[in-house]
Amino acid sequence: MAVSIGVVASPQVVELEVREPYRIWVRFDNGAEGVIDLSDSAALGGIFSQWSNQDFWRSAHIVADSGAVAWGDGSEIDVCPLSLYLDVTGQTFEDLRAEAPTAGSA
């Protein structure tokens, strides 16, 4: 189920593969797919330092009701699907808004 953010429906992650180190492969419900490198986030430390524990890193999973990718029990670290989608496609939020159907065109 796509989540609408304003006029933009956020594609949802439907497949996930954990890769090493700090990389995940995702496929979205609209067919877009790609590898996302999260090493910049990992380098920030703080909560992301948990990713250095390989068991925790491999606990990545898709949150059913939001399409987010989460680690641990899901309350520790999660990344919203829109952010992941923009990373995979190289688009900006403004690009998505420009592609969104206008009122009455759907």
Domains in the chain with CATH codes: 3-93 (3.30.2020.10)
Using alpha carbons, list the distances in angstroms from residue 34 to 17, 44, 66, 81, 101.
10, 23, 19, 13, 25
Q: What is the pLDDT at residue 43?
A: 96
pLDDT tens-digit profile, the chain (106 residues): 555 555 567 899 999 999 988 999 999 999 999 999 999 999 999 999 999 999 999 999 999 888 899 998 867 899 999 999 999 999 998 888 787 665 444 4
> Is 13 within 8 Å of 62 (Cβ atoms)?
yes
Using alpha carbons, list the distances in angstroms from residue 76 to 37, 73, 90, 94, 96.
19, 7, 27, 29, 28
